[in-house]
Amino acid sequence: MNDKDYLELISVNYPTIRSVITELINLNAILNLPKGTEHFVSDIHGEYEAFQHIMNNCSGVIREKVELLFGDRLSDEEKSELCTLIYYPARKLDLLKSAGLTDDKWFLDTLNKLIELCRLLASKYTRSKVRKALPKEYSYIIDELLHAADGEDANRKSYHGKILDSIVNTKSAEDFVVELTKLIKILAVDRIHVVGDIYDRGPNPDKIMNMLAARRSVDIQWGNHDVLWMGAAAGSKVCIAAAVRNSVAAGNYSFLESGYGVSLRPLALFAEKAYPHEADLKGALIKAISIILFKLEAQTIRRNPDFGMSDRLMLEQINYENFTIDLNGRRFVLDKRDFATVNPSAPEELTADEENVTGHLRNSFLNSGLLHKHVDFLYQNGSMYKLCNYNLLYHGCVPLNADGSFASLKLNGRFLSGKALFDEFGLIAGKAYSGRGSDQAQYYLDCMWYLWCGRLSPLYGRSRMTTFERMFIQDKSAHAEDKNAYYRLCDSEEICFKILREFGLYSEYSRIINGHVPVRVSEGESPLRANGRLFFIDGGFCKAYQKTTGIAGYTLIYNSQGMRLMSHSPFQGIEPAIQSNGDIVSHCDLIEAGVKRVTVLDTDAGTEISNKIFMLTKLLEAYRRGWLAYKED
């Protein structure tokens, strides 16, 4: 399309000289606003309550703003009370009402504090953007209150005072408090990036997905645990077996059954019959689903020799006479020796009962409405990686060889590496869910399993997933999962620059933001690598990792003043938070202050706006020189 065609196209929206000038003034002003605040989190792993609180307190930002505004005007107890009201407005209001503390004076005072806080947070946005975040029914009223100024004349002060009096007199103050607290949390965080692994380990990934789906401006870089559930929802039997095993091993029976409607009864009945010597039902369930998983994994590996995983045909490698197995040049004795459903001459074949159980589980996954709603959200708002404001976000790694070159994997007959490998897996993931009737449907599903645990999977990046070894071999040397060379080489700024350039990022301010590997803070590990070029932000939201990390999660905050990495203390629960104003204590561990304040001009949105300004300037010139007809103002 040439310039004249494009100018004629945009002239439809800007048909007059004044409309072009108005938009140019607006866009140039926007470019000079501070950039919106981005929050990056990763590896949430089903820890709903802790994650909900981090989202409610905006990773400590709400408390910072309350301290900034009311530091000398309120006591510590009053500031904590205000923060808790913002985090959990409905439940805190109920508690305060039951204690008889919410009279008209309290509501007037609280509304004024909330409006003052909203005003501070709204200052970095256009009035139009703030309006879009307002509740529809109260948008005019709240907009008026937000733009009341301290130095305004007596008439305006009286006007705004009457608005507040009317809110209280009409018994709508409680509703306004709730809506203002919602607005505060929206304005505090412009965008949330979840750098993978929402699922598994913790008890409520379904609730986390509900919460994310209800928020605006969220994107997700898939983790291997997320892709596992995406593959399961698409009907992959091996992904289903792995997902069920993860949930059973973590004791998340209620999540599977009440959350997604996946009944474990057929599996339980089979497990009790097939493995009666296990100590309890959980042990029998884990044994039953694990053997099914190892069989299905073997079938997947045989179908796909390009995966290069023949060494993971575990059941085939067992010596069933003396119950030993040879792995990586060493012989190990198996601790558990009950393989009642395994035929040594055809170890990967499912029994008739196992086929029935697998078929039932597959039907449950394919027919779970809530699971598919969540997986739809993962596809619509997620990807293998994301380029955002000159930063590169991905969950796992860019697979590397020992010499630092990009490792290649054969997919669909082509050897791919680096960005091309990510892109191809992204296409395959989409086809796995949408292309069930295609000739390659099984291959696409198998690739979802490879993304979960394959040694060159960008979402996993380890030599093996030692589920079998951990289950059957006591010798912990067999449990090692060697990391891809990436995790050693990424300490080099040169390697990080190489990766950034591979993805088309050349800015001196570009960073890699990475999840997946817990940072062992307690052992002196740093989340910042390669002279500040890479952030690892898995700090242990998952309770199982908190002894390893020594903290309870990270949030990377990128605002107009630079980057801050906040580490969080363990969460004691919602009830203590509401009853006693308990909070997650967050510490600023690292600060990367910018040389200058980052504005919208320095962002992806700024690039788009600058391009639009360029074309509108040409349109204005075309109107004024008579090259293009315009409507009279």
Domain enclosing residue 89, as ranges: 57-191
pLDDT at 1 over 60: no
Contacting residues for 131 by C-beta, under 8 A, at least 6 apart: 139, 143
- Helices 139-146 & 104-122 angle (0-180, nearest 10): 70
As a whole number of angstroms, the distance between CA 598 and CA 562 comes to 7
For residue 533, give the 3-state DSSP assignment: coil
Residues 23 and 76 both lie in one domain? no
Residues 20 and 61 both lie in one domain? no
Q: Are strands 324-327 and 330-333 parallel, antiparallel or unpaired?
A: antiparallel
The total number of structural domains that make up the chain = 3
Q: Looking at the domain assignment, is residue 103 inside a domain?
A: yes
141: tokens are: 């009223």
Residues 183 and 142 both lie in one domain? yes
The sheet carrying 554-559 orders its strands as 382-383, 218-221, 191-194, 38-41, 554-559, 562-568, 586-593
Residues 64 and 175 both lie in one domain? yes
Q: Which of 461, 478, 495 is the last residue of a domain?
A: 478
Q: Looking at the domain assignment, is residue 411 inside a domain?
A: yes
10 Å Cβ neighbour count for 112?
Answer: 15
As a whole number of angstroms, the distance between CA 186 and CA 55 comes to 10
0.85 cut: is pTM over it?
yes
pLDDT at 293: 98
Q: Looking at the domain assignment, is residue 373 inside a domain?
A: no
As a whole number of angstroms, the distance between CA 407 and CA 101 comes to 64
Q: Give the residue from 83, 61, 31 showing the smallest Cα distance to 583.
A: 83
Q: Which of 458, 478, 498 is the last residue of a domain?
A: 478
Q: Looking at the domain assignment, is residue 496 inside a domain?
A: no
Residues 147 and 21 both lie in one domain? no
Q: Looking at the domain assignment, is residue 408 inside a domain?
A: yes
> What number is the average pLDDT over the span 600-618?
95
pLDDT at 150: 60
- pLDDT tens for residues 35-89? 999 999 999 999 999 899 899 989 889 999 999 999 899 999 999 999 999 999 9
End-to-end CA distance of the chain: 28
Residues 183 and 241 both lie in one domain? no
Residues 328 and 280 both lie in one domain? yes
Q: Which residues are paired to 602 by β-bridges?
A: none
pLDDT at 159: 86
Residues 317 and 449 both lie in one domain? yes
Q: Are strands 586-593 and 562-568 parallel, antiparallel or unpaired?
A: antiparallel
10 Å Cβ neighbour count for 172?
Answer: 16
Q: Give the residue from 210, 221, 211 showing the smallest Cα distance to 516.
A: 221
Residues 320 and 459 both lie in one domain? yes
Upper half-sphere CA count for residue 307 (Cβ side, 13 Å): 28
Residues 139 and 178 both lie in one domain? yes
Contacting residues for 136 by C-beta, under 8 A, at least 6 apart: none
Q: Looking at the domain assignment, is residue 489 inside a domain?
A: no
Contacting residues for 582 by C-beta, under 8 A, at least 6 apart: 572, 573, 576
Q: Looking at the domain assignment, is residue 568 inside a domain?
A: no
Q: Which of 449, 478, 507 is the last residue of a domain?
A: 478
Is residue 582 within 8 A of residue 571, CB to CB? The reply is: no
In one-letter notation, the amino acid at residue 263 is: S
Q: Looking at the domain assignment, is residue 228 inside a domain?
A: yes
Residues 179 and 245 both lie in one domain? no
pLDDT at 336: 86
82-86 long-range CB contacts below 8 Å, 24 or more apart?
Answer: 82/110, 82/113, 83/57, 83/581, 83/583, 84/577, 84/578, 84/581, 84/583, 85/110, 85/177, 85/181, 86/56, 86/57, 86/62, 86/114, 86/117, 86/181, 86/184, 86/185
Residues 230 and 170 both lie in one domain? no
- pLDDT tens for residues 360-396? 999 999 999 999 999 999 999 999 999 999 999 999 9
Q: Which residues are paired to 318 by β-bridges?
A: 325
- pLDDT tens for residues 168-177? 999 999 999 9
> What number is the average pLDDT over the span 145-154?
73
> What number is the average pLDDT over the span 550-557?
84
Is residue 415 within 8 A of residue 409, CB to CB? The reply is: yes
Query: Which tops the pLDDT comparison, 150 or 626?
Result: 626
- Helices 89-98 & 76-87 angle (0-180, nearest 10): 120
Angle at 385 between CA 380 and CA 389, to 5 degrees: 95
